[in-house]
Amino acid sequence: MKTSRKQARAGFTAGLTLLGAAVCSGALSILSTSEALAQATVYAATTPDVNGAISAERTRAARLFQGITGVRVPIDDARVVQMETLLKAGNARGAAQVATADPLFLDIQIRDLGRRMSTRDESNRAPMSDFVATLIGVVRDSDTTSAKELLTGNFYYRVAPQIATANNIPQVELTDIIRSNNHYAGNNGLQARNLSPAAVLVKQSPQRIIAGGVAADHPDAAGLITTRGFTEAHMIAGTNRRMVEFGFRQFMCVKMEDWADANASDERVGQDVTRTPGGSTNVYLTTCKSCHSGMDGFRGAFAFLDFNNNAQTLGTNVVGKMTRNAGEAPEGYRIFDNSIINNAILPKNADQFGWRSSNTGMGVAAFGKTLADSRGFSRCMVRRAFKTVCRRSPLASEETMVRSLADQFETDGYHMRRMFENVAIQQQCVQ
């Protein structure tokens, strides 16, 4: 059924009104920054025929552009017209590429995905950070950077120095990047400067950390896991278990209860976990052990790392919080090095994770590689793209589609931008 342009424009105006109200209420943030809108690709203007009919392909093109970029544009926008032509020619991938090539895809959609993944509350309101900037950079540079490097790379993204200087963005390494978030979200940082992250970010290598009280190269980098943003969110206080919990939550798309396994070995469960909670050994065996067996097996990766004085720090010995409350269960495991063991390998977890690397290793880099090498990581990235673009999580009945897209993602060399395009053109997504 065809719709007139007058009807479409009326709907578009009403949609913007509702969208604006949602942004103000905090329900959405897709139009919450002016910089990405201001930096959007400039296309030649089109002259609309207000009495003409709108083709099904034009309607789909508008929806596809909004799904991929997170921004709704007029039905006569030149980008939408270009996408319509490609859809009519049967080139759905080409139409999706028009949207992913637009800075709005990175500056709005991928930015907000990074915000949700970077903090404990998983909110679009999270500030710009090295985590968010690095995700944007890797997606932008998909032609040369594999998504696996999100968990294995020894780099981060920052504003190009000359651009930072020209815009008075703080960029002193120690004070503005390592020990604070000023470079990204300070009063004069990237977030406040009306700049397009897609246009101004550059890769910086290696990652840096505080060791012995001074800035040093990170000896055990693992991509987003060892960014300042992620460690600030999950390494402060606690026992470093949260780094494992959220590593799985963000990059394998499973909550702790979804991979807890009471049948797994508890050889690595720490001394701070009582074996008789409430006086009951059975509670430990059926509840506590099921979570801690998997989590504590990987926790050793972070044995020498902490977050102190507003920075990620590296020690020469196991940090104190890893061995606290040892008297709770002296018979438990006491961490003495940064070795890891994967206990999530029994039948309950074997299929959902699809492990393809060693079950043992040393340090955060080994932990990141274990996740990145798995089928679970590829499927998680597809699920995140699907929820971002299609605005819902995949249904259980769509698992075959998820796995097929994950297989294609791997065949394509873990190309993040192409994966988003493949997701967007699925019949289950944007029509």
Per-residue pLDDT reduced to its tens digit, 321-344: 999 999 999 999 999 999 999 999
Residue 399 sits in which domain range?
377-424
Contact, 297 vs 342, CB < 8 A? yes
Is 113 domain-assigned? yes
- Please give the pLDDT value at position 305: 98
* 186: number of Cβ within 10 Å: 17
**85 and 187 assigned to the same domain:** no
What mean pLDDT, rounded, does the chain reach? Answer: 91
At residue 346, does pLDDT exceed 50? Answer: yes
Rg of the chain on CA atoms, in Å:
23
Is 429 domain-assigned? no
**136 and 249 assigned to the same domain:** no
**268 and 342 assigned to the same domain:** yes
**342 and 258 assigned to the same domain:** yes
Terminal-to-terminal C-alpha distance of the chain: 14
Question: Tens digit of pLDDT for each residue in 146-179?
Answer: 999 999 999 999 999 999 999 999 999 999 999 9
Domain end: 42, 76, 101, which one?
A: 101
Is 278 domain-assigned? yes
Q: Are strands 311-314 and 208-211 parallel, antiparallel or unpaired?
A: parallel
Question: Tens digit of pLDDT for each residue in 225-279?
Answer: 999 999 999 999 999 999 999 999 999 999 999 999 999 999 999 999 999 999 9
- Please give the pLDDT value at position 10: 45
**264 and 320 assigned to the same domain:** yes
Is 233 domain-assigned? no
Question: Tens digit of pLDDT for each residue in 167-226?
Answer: 999 999 999 999 999 999 999 999 999 899 999 999 999 999 999 999 999 999 999 999
Confidence of residue 24 (pLDDT cuts 50, 70, 90): very low
Contact, 275 vs 281, CB < 8 A? yes
Is 232 domain-assigned? no
Confidence of residue 53 (pLDDT cuts 50, 70, 90): confident
**127 and 245 assigned to the same domain:** no
**206 and 289 assigned to the same domain:** no
At residue 122, does pLDDT exceed 90? Answer: yes
At residue 143, does pLDDT exceed 70? Answer: yes
- Please give the pLDDT value at position 188: 96
- Please give the pLDDT value at position 51: 65
Domain end: 101, 121, 155, which one?
A: 101
**333 and 391 assigned to the same domain:** no
What's the pTM value of the predicted model, to 2 decimals?
Answer: 0.89
- Please give the pLDDT value at position 48: 61
Number of domains in the chain: 4
Is 430 domain-assigned? no
Return the minimum-mean-pLDDT range out of 13-22, 112-121, 308-317. Answer: 13-22
**90 and 114 assigned to the same domain:** no
**123 and 164 assigned to the same domain:** yes
Q: Which of 427, 336, 397, 377 is nearest to 147 (CA)?
A: 377
Is 231 domain-assigned? no
- Please give the pLDDT value at position 23: 29
**245 and 333 assigned to the same domain:** yes
**124 and 8 assigned to the same domain:** no
Confidence of residue 30 (pLDDT cuts 50, 70, 90): very low
Q: What length is written for the chain?
A: 431
* 20: number of Cβ within 10 Å: 12
Is 431 domain-assigned? no
Domain end: 64, 79, 101, which one?
A: 101
